[in-house]
Structure 1
Amino acid sequence: MNRLKAFLRNDDGVAAVEFALLIFPFLLFLFCILDMALMFFVDSALDSALHMAARDVRVGIAHSGNWDLDRFRSAVCGNMALAFGCEDELLITTTTMSDFSSMAFTSAVSGGVLSVTESFSPGSSGDYVMIQAFLPWSSLLAKIGANVNTLADGSYVLSAAAVFRNEPF
């Protein structure tokens, strides 16, 4: 009986046991924070890159250079920091209209599937143009079973949009 009492009073290795119990949740929490930070950074970079490329549309460079969808996608991805698979994954759609009242926004996600009909039209001088870009993003959170995604495959959709009126050119 004395040996049992001595064993129960022994506190050697308590810190190691506490460390072993807490290190996995702590590291998981830390990696999820880093994953979210990277996702927000790439989302911000996508927004900035789209606005930089949209400026070329607004001032007529894309119109006079006969840009197509691939050329515009290259312009967006070329301006983007940490463009992980941007050229292969980025989906772009443009809408050209004569006034803002005819603008209609539709969601790119339908039933857990990213469904975008890609198009690129720089419009003419004075046209209103809406350019939307969508980038699927796989996340660590989806891999651990966190049900906070937007797509059926467990990935998010990073998106950016630019709405402007073309300058006279």
Structure 2
Amino acid sequence: MLRNLKHHRWVKQRQRSLSMKGFASDTRGAAAVEFALVAIPYFALIFAIIQSGLIFFSQEVLQNATQQTARLIMTGQAQTSGMTAQQFLQDVCAEGSPLLTCASLNVNVQTFPSFSAITQVNPVVNGNFNTSTLLYSLGGPGDIVLVQVFYQLPVFAGPLNFSFATVNGSQRLLEATAVFRNEPY
């Protein structure tokens, strides 16, 4: 009976896999091992692609919302109605809804004597968003106006701790800008 046991297929496979020659030719589980080696970089890449797409899409939505809402200033509707900065941001949020979170929006509106005199505000100080430098001056007819809308988009680190964050450790600062001369309303 022991003689018959030596001839069973599973015994031969076991003996072959224990030998070096058998170990090198054994392919059971190879796909799982290979996948384990590439899974983390693969999922990190997929996550980074999705995160990049979300950032670019959010940037485009913010730019469109800013352009549409800035027209209220350019045509004098914001000035004649007494629009506040908060009301302006609510209009931007309504234009960018449902993607933009209203609480993460900030606006800077300044007037300048000429297009060459325009300087943009950088509200990032030591990696933190600082609202103390932001102004809200709509100007009058014929004034040159700079409108900057800032949005702090929450981002997440991927499997390899790859992050798109630029402010406050876990947020990406997006900025949309519109520059124009107010119409003679």
State whether TM-score is above 0.5: yes
| 1:113 and 2:128 matched | yes
- The C-alpha deviation readout for 1:107-157, integer Å capped at 9, x for no partner, is 221211111334323211111111111111222247853366432524221
From 132, 135, 138, give the equivalent of 1:122.
138
Once the two structures are TM-superposed, the CA of residue 48 in structure 1 deviates from its matched residue by 0.8
Structure 2: stretches of 5+ with no match in the other structure = 1-14
| 1:46 and 2:25 matched | no
- The C-alpha deviation readout for 1:54-74, integer Å capped at 9, x for no partner, is 011101111111110111001
Match of 1:102? 117
CA distance in 2, matches of 1:148, 1:83: 18
CA distance in 2, matches of 1:82, 1:13: 46
- Misfit runs of 4+, over 6 Å: none
From 92, 105, 108, give the equivalent of 1:93.
108
Structure 1: stretches of 5+ with no match in the other structure = none
Aligned-CA RMSD value: 2.2
CA distance in 1, matches of 2:138, 2:129: 23
What secondary structure is seen at the aligned counterpart in 1 of 2:19? helix
Q: Is the 8 A contact 1:132 1:159 kept in 2?
A: yes
Q: Is the 8 A contact 1:49 1:80 kept in 2?
A: yes
TM-score of the pair, normalised by structure 2: 0.80
Match of 1:35? 51
CA distance in 2, matches of 1:78, 1:143: 34
Q: 1:54 to 1:143 in 2, by over 3 A?
A: farther
Match of 1:68? 84
What secondary structure is seen at the aligned counterpart in 1 of 2:28? coil
Q: 1:109 to 1:80 in 2, by over 3 A?
A: same
TM-score of the pair, normalised by structure 1: 0.87
CA distance in 1, matches of 2:60, 2:168: 24
From 78, 88, 91, give the equivalent of 2:94.
78
CA distance in 1, matches of 2:144, 2:112: 5
Once the two structures are TM-superposed, the CA of residue 81 in structure 1 deviates from its matched residue by 4.4
Match of 1:153? 169
Percent identity among equivalent residues? 28
